[in-house]
Structure 1
Amino acid sequence: MTRILAALAIATGLATPAMAEVMKVGVSAEPYPPFYTPDASGEWTGWEVDFMHEMCARIGEECEVTPIAWEGIIPALNTGKIDMIVGSMSITPARAEQISFSDKYYDTPTGLIVAKGSKYGNSPEALEGAIIGAQSGSIQQVYAEKYYGDVAGQIRVYQTLDEELQDLAAGRLDAVIGDALAMDPFINSDEGQACCEYLGAVQNDPEVLGYGVGVGLRKDDTELLGRVNAAIAEIRTDGTYAKLAEPWFNIDIYGE
């Protein structure tokens, strides 16, 4: 009888609760605190995870975090392995050729950290000969190669920001370029205060650094894009955005 009922449900297009699909939301497999990181039990936490769940509730979808290697996250979206990206992906013209983006949901600057007492500055001319760390597949890697490639002693590419910062603290790097907010916990830690200093934001180049962070979607998912944009607008205007940010940040991360 169970098999007959299941066959009838399929034949008539009726979905049972057990058949409901969970939307897979891609993030980088490499932790990116305070935006997303797995805890000891493997549960993903962070501001962006909280934001994702709130957004999914408003579009009427059940969502689960799906970690994907960053360099393969856009192909994973376009081949259907995941359904959207909510993983601090900046909206850039190059990426927009491959996928669609929602309206931005946060925007923070890219900056540089160097060893304390360093001779280096944050202009290309002031980084001549420096060994600079950048995260693989990031907008910061593209920026470093474009602006520092001809002057730096070397640009070293890392899988995680944490690896870069540890090498900077150990003296194996002269500078690290990264998202200022993602580097903030290190800058304000005892280790960071002892070894390093933040030089400030680099000169902005929206063509490389993007126009804020958005939800990544397949180009043909136009109906989903509309629902996502409506949810982002609601979260921003009804006070929920500030409530979600309060446990994680003491500044407005939405940007201008």
Structure 2
Amino acid sequence: MKKIVLSAVLLACAFSASALTQPELRFGVDPTFPPFESKAVDGSLQGFDIDLGNAICAQAKVKCVWVQTGYDGIIPALKARKFDAILSAMSMTPKRREQVAFSDMLYNTPSALVTKKGNALQPEAAALKGKIVGVAQGTTQETYAKEVWARQGVQVVSYPNQDEIYPDLASGRLDATLTSAASAETGFLKSPQGQDFAISGDMLYDKQYFGEGIGIGLRKDDTENLTLINNALAELHKNGTYDQLAKKYFSFSVYHKLDQ
């Protein structure tokens, strides 16, 4: 009997140790960008990126750990090994590819100018000259607005994150904001605060500034996690999980590559 009990104890300890040593995949995220990543009322993380990251971890049989960090410092934090990968709506641009390795594409959504309904503003420097446009720090929209519009007389103001832009837009301190079209359509424009606002003009696709879709960023030498993520992502497309998650958040396809 003692041998049986001892064996059971050892077996339980083995299972416990196995659980404790389960491999982890730590994602860095700035939860200020719904519907991709944000905080629920209870403080928990929610959004398409969060669901997709958790699905990748489940498929790869690793423990998902989320590390919250500011977007403007998210690449330095990755390089400092504060987490393993960036899953925070990061566009795959040539400039960023110099610093990090990217997974296969997660999704691709355009950028858009959000402004008050009925005005004549368009996402063009000539129409925005003398106007004030808010952008989130560290985003491709910030780079585009500063390098293309600011040089032609548009006043571009950077904010720590997109959440801090909308109150100033609603109060009239800003004339417009340049942001993700999907985020604006499913977030701000559906909120009571955004009822008097709309996307103005054409959507913006510019591979030089906005990249070739959104990917997960990793350290360049981390081939192990890159392979793990890409394999899991491929399986999520194959078994229908990706489409199921996307339909939860979007009424339109977010998985299309440029030049196709």
Q: Which of the five TM-score ranges fits, normalised by the shorter chain?
A: 0.7 to 0.9
Judge conservation of contact 2:36–2:48 (CA < 8 Å) in 1. Answer: yes
* TM-score for the superposition, normalised by structure 2: 0.86
Distance 2:118 2:67 in 1: 41
**1:59 correspondence with 2:57:** no
Alignment correspondent of 1:240: 241
Instruction: Describe the shift of the 1:16–1:235 C-alpha distance in structure 2 as closer, same or farther (beyond 3 A).
Output: closer
Instruction: Describe the shift of the 1:61–1:19 C-alpha distance in structure 2 as closer, same or farther (beyond 3 A).
Output: closer
Alignment correspondent of 1:4: none
Judge conservation of contact 2:22–2:63 (CA < 8 Å) in 1. Answer: no
Identity of aligned residues (%): 37
Instruction: Describe the shift of the 1:61–1:16 C-alpha distance in structure 2 as closer, same or farther (beyond 3 A).
Output: closer
Judge conservation of contact 1:127–1:151 (CA < 8 Å) in 2. Answer: no
Write the mapping of 1:106-255 to structure 2, written as runs, cut at 5 A: 106-184=107-185, 185-194=187-196, 196-255=197-256
Judge conservation of contact 2:122–2:201 (CA < 8 Å) in 1. Answer: no
Match of 1:26 among 25, 28, 31: 28
Query: What RMSD in Å do the two structures reach over aligned CA positions?
Result: 1.7
Judge conservation of contact 2:131–2:155 (CA < 8 Å) in 1. Answer: yes
Instruction: Describe the shift of the 1:94–1:174 C-alpha distance in structure 2 as closer, same or farther (beyond 3 A).
Output: same
Judge conservation of contact 2:135–2:165 (CA < 8 Å) in 1. Answer: yes
Q: Which amino acid aligns with 1:130?
A: K
* TM-score for the superposition, normalised by structure 1: 0.88
CA-CA distance at 1:36 after TM superposition? 1.3
Judge conservation of contact 1:131–1:152 (CA < 8 Å) in 2. Answer: no
Post-superposition CA distance 1:177-218 (Å, at most 9, x none): 000011112223343232x22114444221210110011111
Write the mapping of 1:65-80 to structure 2, written as runs, cut at 5 A: 65-80=66-81
Distance 1:207 1:89 in 2: 14
Instruction: Describe the shift of the 1:109–1:153 C-alpha distance in structure 2 as closer, same or farther (beyond 3 A).
Output: closer
Judge conservation of contact 1:108–1:212 (CA < 8 Å) in 2. Answer: yes
Alignment correspondent of 1:105: 106
Distance 1:209 1:17 in 2: 41
Distance 1:133 1:152 in 2: 14
Partner SS, residue 247 of structure 1: helix
Distance 2:29 2:116 in 1: 30
Judge conservation of contact 2:85–2:219 (CA < 8 Å) in 1. Answer: yes
Q: Which amino acid aligns with 1:26?
A: G
CA-CA distance at 1:22 after TM superposition? 2.9
Instruction: Describe the shift of the 1:18–1:223 C-alpha distance in structure 2 as closer, same or farther (beyond 3 A).
Output: closer
Partner SS, residue 249 of structure 2: coil
Post-superposition CA distance 1:58-90 (Å, at most 9, x none): 222111111011121111111211011111111
Instruction: Describe the shift of the 1:53–1:160 C-alpha distance in structure 2 as closer, same or farther (beyond 3 A).
Output: same
Distance 1:203 1:32 in 2: 18
Task: Tell me which stretches of 4 or more aligned residues in structure 1 moved more than 6 Å.
Answer: none
Post-superposition CA distance 1:2-55 (Å, at most 9, x none): xxxxxxxxxxxxx75434453221001x42111111223321111111100111
Judge conservation of contact 1:26–1:86 (CA < 8 Å) in 2. Answer: yes
Number of paired residues? 240
Post-superposition CA distance 1:207-246 (Å, at most 9, x none): 2101100111111111221221121122122211111122
